[in-house]
Amino acid sequence: MVKKVSKKDIKSIKNVRTGGQTALKGYSYQYLYTIYLILSEFREEVVFQLEGIEDIDMIEHNMRDSNGETLTTHIQLKYSKNQQDASFLKNVLKNFLEVYLIDGDRNFKLIYDFQLSRGNLSKLFNNKLDETANNYWKNIIQKIEDENSEWNWVNFDYDKFISKLSFEKKDRDELENSIEKLLISNFDITTDNISLYANSIKILCLNKMVSRGDITKRDIESNILEVQDDINRGSFNPAFNWIKKVDFVPKVSDEDDLGYYEGKKPTYQDIANQLPIRRESLLEEFKKSIIQNRVTIIKASSGQGKTTLALQVIYELYEEYTPYQLYLCNDRKDLINIVSYFETRVKLGEKPLILIDNLDAQLSDWNMLLQLFQEQIKYHYKFVVTTREEDWYAYKGDLTNLKSINIINIKLDEKDAKNIFDVLKENGMLHASVRDWKKPYRDIEKRKLLIEYIYLLTHGEMLSERINTQLAFLANSPNGKIKNDILRKVCFADICGAKILISNLLENIKDQTSQDPSELLKSLESEYFTV
């Protein structure tokens, strides 16, 4: 006989009276799994009865048993911090058997969160029953039969009953993470209020348990709408306005769209249609950088094909990463909204690959944004940033605060120049005066500018020559001096990353000409060759 030892103090008594806490952990586990299951089987045809015959009775109206009746699965949940052996399962099987002997078409499932001891329990749970294990469980069922002989055991089939059982381990922490993902995917909840939605469903489940009521898809949807009303119909994340998911949908057309070769900026469709000329060595370098680093900077002067190269390599990584483009990042109080948006994407299992194209005043806080990503998201995202040389010095910020960053400077080399010539020739885009690639390349070799090279191949003259010709033409046209003055101001402002208000331009020129100033500005729109 074990002699009881008297507790010496209040703390000792408190340490052994853990029954209530253990029970609450079990209930908490039951709530979490119930929410997870409801959101996983989020269909009109499925109804959940809580605290019915078992913890959860899942009724699938679109599924029928052998008698044509609605298919029902009875689910029992077990949570324990201790390892369990075969002895604990007898009462579970007893509950299942009582129902099975009345309706043999029903299914039974045990969801658990504990460690299994090796032996007969593990063999049953893992569907690896051998002769020894089968004999053990047959013996357990015989004991249940002996204790409940009044049940209808006629025609009981052990193998058929065992086939109706299933077991699944669901970790409590895993459930919490899964619930977040399901809420996001089912309801597109992308705010920091996800916990409010989860807790509201938990309360809904508690009320249904008390009343032994049903939960349907409509109940959950109504509950979500009520929460949205409580938080002013959900917190709208303004970052939606600044972020675009890149969709590489090929353009279907009977005619080839060669607009790209006219110097136009490539579209996502151009990339998907494999239209832009590939610069293989650079693309391979960019791909390697993206894989190995958190941030890849593509830096070059204007007209080097930075955007094209960035989109091409992002397209090549399309299966592994989900591409986005960020259009606005210049207000520090809004950076957290951008981080919150992508934090939600990561929780959904995405690996965002985010393009920031051409740094300017609209994207001036990109450096601070990336620092917040490092602190709050930490993994499963990549950035590709393109920038002109001038803008890099204006907006790069303190790079010492950024981890895993790689900067790549691009130039047009001879191999790419020859390849571009060959592709343009094949598409009939060369100017009649251009016979080979070497002379045009030598003309631009000092600065190695792609845009100058393309224009020289397709128009037979340097882009700078074309612009000078246009400016000379403007100077000799009516109000030419005023027009050139406007262009100088606009170009200088663009170099500085600044904007000029139309009202200021109009005010500046209204006393210099008898022509309507607004009409004069409109004429520049069609006269001036914009790059």
Q: Spell out the SS3 assignment of 425-445.
A: HHCCCCCCCCCCCHHHHHHHC
SS3 (DSSP) at 423: helix
pLDDT at residue 22, as a whole number: 65
Q: pLDDT under 70 in the chain at which residues?
A: 1-8, 18-22, 24, 190-192, 229-236, 251-264, 460-479, 494-495, 497, 505-507, 509-531
Residues forming a β-bridge with 214: 49
Measure the CA angle with vertex 332, ends 328 and 335; round to 5°: 60
Q: How far apart are alpha carbons 392 and 386 in whole angstroms?
A: 9
Work out whether the CA dihedral 332, 337, 343, 345 comes out positive or negative: negative
Q: The tokens 């390599």 sit on which residue?
A: 313
pLDDT at residue 482, as a whole number: 74
Rg (the chain; Cα; Å): 35
Measure Cα distances from 257 to 247, 265, 303, 421, 494 in Å: 18, 13, 21, 18, 30
Residues 180-206 as b/e (b if ≥16 CB within 10 A, e otherwise) read bbbbbeebebbbebbebbbebbeebbe
**Residue 60 CA to its chain's centroid (Å):** 31
Q: Structure tokens of 49?
A: 């009865």
Residues with Cβ < 8 Å from 482, sequence gap 6 or more?
509, 512, 513, 520
pLDDT at residue 473, as a whole number: 62
Decide if 110 contacts 165 (C-beta within 8 A): yes
Question: What is the full DSSP assignment across 237-283?
Answer: -GGGGTEEE---PPPP-SS---GGGGTPPPPHHHHHTT-SPP-HHHH
Q: How far apart are alpha carbons 73 and 193 in whole angstroms?
A: 33
pLDDT at residue 530, as a whole number: 38
Pairing assessment for the beta strands 107-113 and 165-169 based on DSSP bridges? parallel
Q: How far apart are alpha carbons 35 and 219 in whole angstroms?
A: 12
Instruction: Give tens-digit pLDDT for 184-235.
Output: 888 877 666 788 888 888 888 888 888 888 998 888 888 887 787 666 444 5
pLDDT at residue 254, as a whole number: 45
Decide if 464 contacts 452 (C-beta within 8 A): yes
Pairing assessment for the beta strands 322-326 and 243-245 based on DSSP bridges? antiparallel
Q: The tokens 């490539």 sit on which residue?
A: 266
pLDDT at residue 72, as a whole number: 93
Q: What are the helix and strand counts (H, E) for the chain?
A: 22, 12
Residues forming a β-bridge with 64: 70
pLDDT at residue 300, as a whole number: 87
Measure Cα distances from 504 to 460, 474, 491 in Å: 38, 22, 15
pLDDT at residue 510, as a whole number: 63
Q: How far apart are alpha carbons 131 and 116 in whole angstroms?
A: 20
